[in-house]
Structure formats: C-alpha cells, structure tokens
C-alpha cells in the first residue's frame, strides 16, 4: 500500500516489497538475513495471513502462483490448501499425516521439515515455501 513518502512505515514496507520477490508474485525465494530483519520490523497482521508458494512439481496439483492462506500451523495450512485444491491431498503428506520424505517446508526461509514439521506454529510467519529436496536421478 503506498502512502505519504515521509511515513517511515511506508518506506519500510516499500523496502520490504522491493527486497522480497515472493510478495509481488515472483518466484519462491528464501529470504536473506537482511530481508528477514526488514520483514520482521513491519507490524504483524491481525490474522496469520500467509503467502504460500509451491514449487513447479507440486503446482500441477495446487495453486500456480502465490496463494494467500490464513492458518496458524503448517498442518492447518495444508488442511486449507487441500480443501481448496483436492488434488493436493496426500501429495505433500501421506495418509498418516506425515510430510512426505522429499517434501521440504520452509517457514520464512527456515526448513522445518526435519524438526517440528507439520506441527510448526505459523504465528508471526509471512511466507511458506513448499519445495522438493535435491534428489532423484
């Protein structure tokens, strides 16, 4: 949102917009430390509205571009996505609810797949990238 150029909030937000391609619909990119700090400095939204990006392999089944989702955990986010895009069901998680082995979930640039996984809280998070591991052959 563009406002008075003298408003420090707007300057910070514009700065954030310039440095974070995901926000303006660019390709999914993990944030640098500087980008994270700039992003964190902006005030948190009232609800956990997140930008979600899937990599090219998963886009066949889900959103092709950036998707806005309101969710408070990775599990909740995946439930919402699967309801909107039924073909995504069981593609990211198997039927026991575990993330598939080669799926990687990044919350604001941090890979949570091998740690808190689907139980990861999304409080304060902005961007979720769902990518695949460097694997195959």
Partner 1 sequence: MVSDSKLRILVGTRKGTYIVEGDARRTRWKVGPVAHQGNEVYHVVADSRHPGDVYALVNSWLYGPVLYRSRDYGKKWNEIGTPLMASTKTRPPKFDGNPDTPAPVYPVANLWHLEPGPPAEPKTLYLGADPHLLFRTTDLGSSWEPIPSINEHPARKGWAPGAGGACLHTILVDPRDSRRLYVGMSAVGTFRSEDGGATWKPTNKGVEAPFLPNKFPETGQCVHHVTADAADPDTFYRQDHGGMYVSHDRMDQWVRIGKPLGDDFGFAVASPRAAPGRAYFVRLDGQARVTGEGHFQVHEWNDKTRKWRKLLSPTAFPGHFGVQREGIATDDRNPPGIYVGTTTGQLFVSPNAGKTWHQVPFQFPGIHSVSVANPASR
Q: Which residue lies nearer to partner 1 by CB, 17 or 79?
A: 79
Nearest CA to 116 among 135, 94, 98? 98
Does 94 engage in binding with partner 1 (CB under 8 A)? yes
Does 98 engage in binding with partner 1 (CB under 8 A)? yes
Both tokens assigned to 76: 């909740």
Please give the Cα distance from 108 to 123 (Å, whole number): 11
Q: Which residue lies nearer to partner 1 by CB, 23 or 55?
A: 55
Give the position of tokens 């039924």. 86
Q: Which of 23, 59, 76, 132 binds partner 1 (CB under 8 A)?
A: 132
The distance of closest approach from Cβ of residue 97 to partner 1 in the complex, given in angstroms and rounded to an integer, is 6
60 phi-psi bin (left φ>0, alpha ψ -120 to 50, beta other): alpha
Q: Which residue lies nearer to partner 1 by CB, 42 or 133?
A: 133
Q: Which of 92, 99, 107, 125 binds partner 1 (CB under 8 A)?
A: 92
Does 136 engage in binding with partner 1 (CB under 8 A)? yes
- CB-based contacts of 114: which residues, under 8 Å, 6+ apart? none
Total of residues contacting partner 1 (CB under 8 A): 18
Burial (0-12, 13-18, 19+ Cβ within 10 Å), 21 = middle
Q: Which residue lies nearer to partner 1 by CB, 23 or 76?
A: 76
Binding interface with partner 1 (CB under 8 A): 57-58, 61, 87, 90-92, 94-98, 100, 102-103, 132, 135-136
């Amino acid at each position: 949102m563009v406002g008075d150029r003298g408003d420090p909030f707007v300057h910070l937000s514009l700065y954030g917009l310039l440095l974070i391609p995901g926000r303006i619909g660019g390709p999914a990119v993990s944030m640098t430390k500087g980008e994270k700090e700039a992003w964190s400095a902006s005030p948190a939204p009232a609800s956990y509205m997140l930008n979600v990006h899937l990599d090219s392999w998963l886009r066949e089944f889900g959103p092709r571009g950036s998707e806005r989702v309101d969710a408070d955990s990775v599990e909740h986010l995946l439930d919402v996505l699967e309801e909107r895009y039924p073909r995504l069901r069981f593609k990211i998680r198997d039927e026991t609810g575990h993330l598939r082995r080669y799926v990687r979930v990044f919350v604001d640039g941090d890979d949570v797949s091998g740690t808190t996984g689907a139980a990861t809280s999304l409080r304060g998070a902005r961007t979720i990238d769902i990518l695949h591991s460097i694997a195959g052959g």
